[in-house]
Amino acid sequence: MRASRGRRGDTATLLAALGAAAALLAGGCAGSLPYTADGEITVAGAKDTSGNLNKLIDVWNAAHPDKKARYVELAAESGLQRQQVMQNFLAHSPTYDAVITDDTWTTEFADKGWLAPLPADDFPPHEYFPAAVDAGTVGGTLYAAPYIASPVVLFYRDDLVARPPRTWSELIGDCAIAAAHQMGCYAGQFASYEGLTVNVTSAIRSAGGDILSVDGTRAVVDTPQARHGLEFLVNGFRQGYIPKEAITYQEEEGRRAFQRGSLLFLSNYSYVYARANTPGPDTAIAGKAAVAPIPGLDNPGVTSVGGHMMAVSAFSRHRQDTIEFVRYFTGEDNERQLLLKQSVAPVWRKLYDDPDLIKRFPFLPTLKESLERGRARPKTANYSALSLAVQTAAYAALQGAVSVDAALAAMSDQIDSALDGDR
């Protein structure tokens, strides 16, 4: 399931771009605004460092001279991007017709009436990975079109491990290899920040549990399944298969440890692949890092899928034209070009079965398996408060300050308080 060594150049480029995409990371009624068919379509999003987004817009403009589009670059940092978009929406401004958003913004923006619903016929759900569709759907209606997906995956040393672990017990068993080579066994992102929320969410779901109820109205973390998930991480620090220093790890600290040869396994975003396998002073393991789906309790795990969506403003004066543009921009042909020219992972499932693409990017089948099993991050209009509740309670348990049961009880109470405050 690993990428063949002869093709690691293209695969490394793909994974580097995936990581960058991972790092990028609803009030009023617009019924009184005129939705005209003329005028310029304005698309807002992160800086177009590749130049490819503007090339796609140029193709659209050549074919649609009466409804041209232009790209407006927002702030570089995701939080500042969100502030800019929210300020625009709070003013009911028609300045932005379409916005490229983080997947966790959709529920909040849709609940506040800031996003226009998208026709299911134009964005058929079966064409996309389930996590991508779920991230864009609120109350059974699609409000944001899937655009880019990026899952957490398991990196491992394929010069030391013949077959990547598919369960936690297999991973723990492989820790004997790490001990024999005087290296740490496993790490993820365990500092108290959003990365810990992602790791805890993945662990709980990989044990059959979840963070929120199906309807998103209450916490469901005080369960045996959630206990198994958090215990895997807590026991890692207690029993030593997670190094003590990993309690401070964010993405970059884990990457550096893995590249130094200090870790056998690392859960992280896919940008690590290129950094680890490209020869140079930054890595001691070039050509020795492979990728697999994250392991779970009894089966391969359920990764938390990050990503970006494309939504249409409810205040756009060119709503129908903008929906048509979003359909073009996120369509299969452009997703293929994004993969080939920009090495961005497509959200269209069929592209992962294309023999020509697999030949160029042998990592695609592994990525597809992770995306098929993956889930969107918990959906709530108050995601930031939910994330804080998860990471605060979990971090105390990882430090050994509270028991797993106490941490989950506190997590449940804090999440429910956040949800109550949002009603």
| 237 against 271, higher pLDDT | 237
Report pLDDT digits (tens) over 390-414.
999 999 999 999 999 999 999 999 9
- Comparing 98-107, 228-237, 288-297, 353-362, the range with the smallest average pLDDT is 353-362
Residue 393's domain is classified under what CATH number? 3.40.190.10
Burial of 365 (0-12, 13-18, 19+ CB in 10 A): middle
In a domain, 3, yes or no: no
Indicate the number of domains in the chain: 2
Q: What is the pLDDT of residue 78?
A: 85
Q: Which SS3 state, helix, strand or coil, does residue 402 take?
A: coil
pLDDT band at 274 (very low <50, low <70, confident <90, very high): confident
* Tokens of residue 194, six digits: 């959003």
Token look-up 């992602």 returns: 198
Whole-number Cα distances in Å, 297 to 71, 169, 407, 415: 45, 7, 20, 24
User: In this predicted model, what pLDDT tens digit does every residue of 77-131 receive, in sequence order?
Assistant: 888 999 999 999 999 999 999 999 999 999 999 999 999 999 999 999 999 999 9
Is 136 domain-assigned? Answer: yes
pLDDT beyond 50 at 227? yes
Same-domain check for residues 128 and 35: yes
User: What is the reported pLDDT for 420?
Assistant: 85
Q: Is the predicted pLDDT of residue 36 greater than 60, yes or no? A: no
134 and 61 belong to one structural domain: yes
Mean pLDDT of 182-204: 98
Mean predicted lDDT score pLDDT of the chain: 90
Residue at a domain's end among 360, 376, 392: 376
**One domain, residues 98 and 214:** no
Q: What is the pLDDT of residue 14?
A: 59
> φ and ψ at 264, to 5 degrees?
-85, -40
Residue 160 and residue 278 share a domain: yes
Please compute the mean of the pLDDT values over residues 330-345 and round it to a whole number.
86
Instruction: Report yes or no on 56 lying in a domain.
Output: yes
Phi-psi region of 346 (alpha: psi -120 to 50; beta: other; left: phi over 0): beta
Q: Is the pLDDT of residue 18 over 80?
A: no
What stretch of H or E contains 151?
A: strand 144-157
Residue 4 lies in a domain: no
Q: Which one of 359, 376, 393 terminates a domain?
A: 376
Burial 43-82 (b: 16+ CB within 10 A, else e): bbbbeeeeeebeebbeebbeeeeebbbebeebeeebeebb
Spatial separation of the C-alpha atoms in residues 221 and 269, rounded to whole Å: 25
| Interacting residues of 333 by C-beta distance below 8 A, sequence separation 6+ | none
Structural domain of 297: 151-303+379-422
Do 250 and 123 share a structural domain? no
DSSP classification of residue 313? B
Question: What are the helix (H) ranges across 240-382?
Answer: 251-259, 271-277, 319-329, 332-337, 355-360, 364-373
Instruction: Summarize the confidence of residues 119-147 as an average pLDDT.
Output: 96
For residues 227 and 231, give the distance between their C-alpha atoms in angstroms, rounded to a whole number: 6
Split at pLDDT 50, 70, 90, the class of 416 is: very high
Q: How far apart are CA 35 and CA 97, in angstroms?
A: 11
Structure token pair of residue 282: 């930054």
> Over pLDDT 90: what percentage of the chain?
79
Residues 311 and 397 in one domain: no
> Which pLDDT score is estimated for 272?
86
- Of 376, 395, 410, the position where a domain reaches its end is 376
pLDDT of residue 2: 44
Indicate whether 11 belongs to any domain: no
- Cβ distance 171 to 263 under 8 Å? no
Q: Are 254 and 185 in contact (CB under 8 A)?
A: no
What pLDDT was estimated at residue 9?
57
Read off the pLDDT band of 66 (50, 70, 90). Answer: very high
Quick one: 24 and 56 in the same domain? Answer: yes
Task: Indicate if 144 and 182 belong to the same structural domain.
Answer: no
270 lies in the same domain as 315: no
Residue 10 lies in a domain: no
Q: Considering the domain boundaries, does residue 413 fall inside one?
A: yes
| Residue 47 resides in a domain | yes
DSSP state at residue 125: G
C-beta of residue 366 within 8 angstroms of C-beta of residue 1: yes
Instruction: Give tens-digit pLDDT for 279-310.
Output: 999 999 999 999 999 999 999 999 999 889 99
What pLDDT, in 10s, does the model give residues 195-225? 999 999 999 999 999 999 999 999 999 999 9
Pair (236, 263) in one structural domain: yes
pLDDT of residue 145: 98
Burial of 230 (0-12, 13-18, 19+ CB in 10 A): buried
Residues 67 and 125 grouped into a single domain: yes
- Of 149, 109, 106, which Cα lies nearest the Cα of 129? 149
Residues 65 and 174 in one domain: no
pLDDT band at residue 19, thresholds of 50, 70 and 90? low
Residue 1: pLDDT band (50, 70, 90) is very low
